[in-house]
Structure 1
Amino acid sequence: MIVTYSPNIRSLLIAFIMLVFITPVTTCAKNEPSASEINLQKQIDNIKKSELQLHNYIMNLQNEIYIIRDQIELISNSPLLNKQSFHTKTPQNDGRSLKEKELYDLCIKMFNDHKYIESKNHLANFIDVYNNSSLIPYAIFYYGKCNYKLGRFKESIDQLTIFIKEKSDNEHVPEAMLLIAENQIALNNISDATKTLRKILKNHKNSDIYGTAQKLFNMIK
């Protein structure tokens, strides 16, 4: 049997078919991103790429710092290369007790043996028990160094700042300042680190760590 349609019905069928098959294409076209949206997405992708590159740069910088620090400590811990090292030389005895000296020496030994948690705990005990000792600034100095080694950068900066304030004329102030700069870099505070290193290069040109500070400064400026 052959079905026949009137012209009007045929026109309606054709219109319906066009509506069904053509409308989705039109809708899809409307959902396509505009040129401005595509440009914005490209900018976002470029920003993310730059952030990743900056992160990798900072990580590489920190690795180089650790290498430099290990070299400094290797030299400073060698009595043959540096007999006056802060790591091997205890400040002159001013009447402190034997137990006081023994505890302080134990703290330093643990630090030199890379036992930073143990050293930090003993230093905290030393600072609490012998709070009037002339060794307190030095204990705080090493406490700050332990925190740096343990990744507690903000606390390390606070303690090293105390040491510098109380022992502003001490020969180890440049080292404390260098550590502060390294902490600042670890915190991605490149601006403050640059300022700290500038102070070292300006005020401590004869320091043993001047060359290290110059190298670090050139890396981040």
Structure 2
Amino acid sequence: MTLHYLSYTRTLIIAFVIYGCMISTTSAKNEPSPYEIDLQKQIDNIKKSELQLHNYIVSLQNEIYIIRDQIELIANNPLLNKQSFHTKKLQKDESNLKEKELYDLSIKMFNDHKYTEAKNHLSSFIDLYTNSSLIPCARFYYGKCNYKLSKFKESIDQLIIFIKEKPDSEHIPEALLLISENQIALNNISEAIKTLKIILKNHKNSDIYGTAQKLFNMIK
């Protein structure tokens, strides 16, 4: 009986050892290996990177939509359009600068007694800048150039246009006096007298009133 009991006990011990090994093996199989842990980390990192990339792409798309809307707004709104506002303003400023430079150059040439050059520049100015506020004054000096160059008929024509365009100009008395001198040069004394009478009647406070009076007394 004792032998039988020892044999039975031994069998149980062996069974428990085998069962323990089986449990240990099963437990070992359930725990991931270091390689599996590292692989899982890489997979998690890739998924995280993919999510960040997706969010970045969505953000870029939103910025593109905003920029496109702004471009359409600028293209359709003349107040915001660089071409219609800033560029055109710049072009206008440059045009005004060239206009003033040509006019000033013409007057300088006249004052330097270069009447032919001054006349040519004034003629170009009148042709180029038809809407300029300086056109009447340009015509006035153009008429003076023609008088200096003995182009008396052309001088009268330009001075008459000047008087019509700028009737309130301070140069009106001088223009009338110059017309009378052109008329005298053309031997049209009766017309010169009429012109001088206008000065004596309407421009008594003018600086050239005395000159007009003397010329009138000489030819009447």
- For the superposition of Structure 1 and Structure 2, which TM-score range results when normalised by the shorter chain? 0.5 to 0.7
Where does residue 209 of structure 1 map in the other structure?
A: 208
Where does residue 126 of structure 2 map in the other structure?
A: 127
Where does residue 167 of structure 2 map in the other structure?
A: 168
d(CA) in 2 for partners of 1:152 and 1:172?
Answer: 20
Runs of 4+ with deviation above 4 angstroms? none
Q: Which protein has the larger Cα radius of gyration, Structure 1 or Structure 2?
A: 2
Where does residue 84 of structure 2 map in the other structure?
A: none
Letter paired with 1:127? I
Q: How well do the aligned residues superpose, as a CA RMSD in angstroms?
A: 1.5
Letter paired with 2:212? A
Structure with higher helix content? 2
Where does residue 53 of structure 2 map in the other structure?
A: none
In structure 1, the residue corresponding to 2:99 is in which secondary structure?
A: helix
Q: Any conservation in 2 of the 1:201–1:210 contact (CA below 8 Å)?
A: yes
What is the TM-score with the length of structure 1 in the denominator? 0.56
Q: How many residues align?
A: 128
Deviation per residue, 1:72-103 (Å, 9 max, x gap): xxxxxxxxxxxxxxxxxxxxxx9971111111
Structure 2 segments unaligned to the other structure (5+ residues): 1-92
Letter paired with 1:192? E
d(CA) in 2 for partners of 1:192 and 1:164?
Answer: 17
In structure 1, the residue corresponding to 2:100 is in which secondary structure?
A: helix
d(CA) in 2 for partners of 1:103 and 1:166?
Answer: 21
Structure with larger RCO (C-alpha < 8 A, sep 6+): 1
Change in CA separation of 1:202 and 1:96 when aligned onto 2, cut-off 3 Å: farther
Tell me the percent identity: 81
Where does residue 12 of structure 1 map in the other structure?
A: none
What is the TM-score with the length of structure 2 in the denominator? 0.57
User: 2:106 matched to 1:107?
Assistant: yes
